[in-house]
Structure 1
Amino acid sequence: MLRSLLTCVFLLSISVSAIPLVAQDIKVQKPVSVVPAEKLSEVFFKTVPDSLEDLQEIERQVTSLTRTAIESTVSVRVGEAQGSGVIIDNKAGYILTAAHVIGLAQKNATIILHDGRTLKGRTMGLNRGLDAGLVKLVEDDHIDISKLSAVKMGDISEIEAGEWVMATGHPNGYQSGRAPVVRLGRIVSRKKHLLQTDCTLIGGDSGGPLFNMQGQVVGIHSRIGPSTSWNFHIPVSAFQDDWEKLVSGDMWGAKPLGQNAVLGVNGEDTDRGCKVTAVTRGFPAEIAGLHTNDIIIQLNDEKITGIEQLAEVVQQYKPGQTVQITLIRAGKNMTFEVQLAARD
């Protein structure tokens, strides 16, 4: 009941007026937020809101953040590919997005603002391994980049499961007359290089921002799954840690999209290996017969210690290759042959 009410309240699409706008560019320092975090209401620390007043307090806080969140969210188009992004520096015109949205460095991009105005951009660096990408706006004679809304990157070091978050983006791609769409959710789990939430995302949202309840960007949408809780985001630390490389246009990490292998499981770390918490329908793991609650302990000759390490090992292989996965099911060791597929 609460979930349905929250969904109705917070699936927002807000239009805002255009601002007549001329561009400037200055040298930009590493964009790390130094603004103290705003103290939140106690309702944000409850397991679930338990009254109408709680829901109203959540609504007030989210509503206070939506204008800036929407105005800083953009549509990013590079060739035939499109996704979302967020402006985090309106002096130099830097936009965070997902690496798989922009594909390559030094490519022309089209940036569509929340109100439909269009700017040119240029793709910068990308970390394919973590799916982090950077775009820079190009100076424009009619739009003053310095007057565009921009948001700060937040500190993710203390993010915990259950924390409220807000996602924006362009589901199904940019649609004329529709501003970026806002969705509310919570952190399901946090790994070193991955945040998982139950914010409902679909194709076109990739590259869009995930905000904390102080209005700071804490993640960028990366992988969108078949269920509401299967949505993964790159922590902003992936951008902060390698900011100089991204600005300089470096490309590193995994292979280009379409050459990356995928297994199709979600999991959690255990003392024995990676416990499978979900298996994606139609993906290699399901086809091979892997089940929820299986504990993956080995892939070929590599011992598996957790979900992030499993993902790294899978990336050592190419789509179409067959690997042997050893797992524990109901106390018994079992081995499965799995033909990996391409991530698209």
Structure 2
Amino acid sequence: MSLRICILLLVISPVFGILPAGAQKKADRNMAARIKADIYYLASDSLEGRRTGSEGERKAGDYIENRYKQLGISPYKEQYRSIFHFPFGRELAPNTQVRLGNVVLKPTEEVIVFPFSKSKKVKSEILPDILETGKIWMMPLYADKDEARDPHFEWEKAVFDKAVEAAKQGATGLLLYDNYGAKYPPEFNRKSEYETVDIPVAYITAAAYNKYIADDHYEEYITDGLPGLPVELNIGVRKVERSGTNIAAYIDNKAPYTVVLGAHYDHLGLGEDGNSLYSGNDKEVHNGADDNASGTAAVLQMAELINNKRKKLSHYNYLFINFSGEELGLLGSKAFVKDMGLDSSKVAYMINMDMVGRLNDSTHALTMGGIGTSPAWAQFMDRPDKRFKIVVDSSGIGPSDHTSFYNAGVPVLFFFTGLHSDYHKPTDDADKINYPGEVMVVRYMYDIVAKMDKEPKPGYTITKAPAVGKTRFKVTLGIMPDYTFNEGGVRVDGVTEGRPAIKAGIKTGDIIIQLGDNKVQGMQTYMEALGKFAAGDKTVVKVLREGKEISMPLEFANK
């Protein structure tokens, strides 16, 4: 999300009157109970983390669809579900193997096959470092020990370039080896963007090199009468496709424009896709109560509130969407925008709810993103109240599904109660949700919708893209920033076990003010500083702790 943050006190007065205090409290308790029931089911272990395309995602989709049916809200188009397909990198075929003599090398431990390798079976009798046309080449990956230990060494590019050149010179395959003991060795990068080369390519680890190749060990595997070591590369690399399912319900008021209210319902499963921050060795279910069973439950409550007032809220049609594939790159919302069968010019605006279940009872801090995407949103800053301390983010681009609609020319709003130490970990559980707080957020969003129903379609404004959205980080510090803090530096809301921050001695409550030579004045400068480092870099981090400046040595590990 954009990091040009200003703090406003903001609340909109209820549009349709205020219930008597007792009735309002009862209504809030009932809503909290419904939200709790939704989240406890969606974030239960039985759904196994709702990974996109999984059985858990299907069960969650069934539940959401049934909730819309119970509310009496019709499906969008002919059915609630729409399936989208997407490429998901590459994987090795089960029969892939590399053989030296009569020894089949163990995957990962002894040999790595690259995703841009050609799928093919080739054999040769070879000698290390003897490069002959029409044979497999065996050669070192690293030029020297310094290169093998260099954290900035781009091994994937180096392997690709060597493979392309070897193929040009007539090699039938390429078997690289590590004879120095690399500190950051290659690995199978499922998401590699390199195109398939013309020959099979693999890499022998340092352990395998020392065992089978070094000090002429390879001679033990040469059968009498053969000119060299028999090597066989039997490589199979295949593209992977997965699918996800969006759930959409629709209140058709025969209006010319439609309001979209959405949230993603997918999560991380067992962390199989590499987007977990959990540092443990055992696979655990990532239940995703806040991320984003909370937003899913909020959409269902918004659907109920709007459906109950549909005679009064009739200026727009209302489309409720629960996206999948958000955790893999906003895939569900991108697919929906592309194929929704509704011209984006007919969408009045979109409200996205992502992680709205952890409202802090002390600060009542609530991030409201997309405020700069329409002049219409400025009116909601004119009448401050005491329900929330709003952190205003002007950009329409952020790490959630509203971005897909903003990019299609739709004004957006994005609601978010903040990061926490359970983010993308198995500990994001239903018992940690602030249910009365989520009721407050839902009623606040409903007030906005009710107010906007009396107004013409809001205009669209292009906002400046946040600088951090373009930064690709090779490292992570392992902290949870406090996005509501704006007093200079970055305040730490939590630290992740096993990551550089906790190893350096950074604690919750510390304020990071400098990273290496880079002054940290806020989240944007922090992200810019982080983008300058790579795995293995050593630096000094400065923090304020209880008013005192402390310097600590820090080493960045692999992300």
Is TM (by shorter chain) over 0.5? no
More strand by percentage: 1
Taking structure 2 as the reference length, the TM-score comes to 0.28
Larger radius of gyration between Structure 1 and Structure 2: 2
More helix by percentage: 2
Q: Which has the higher contact order (CA 8 A, sep 6+)?
A: 2
Taking structure 1 as the reference length, the TM-score comes to 0.43
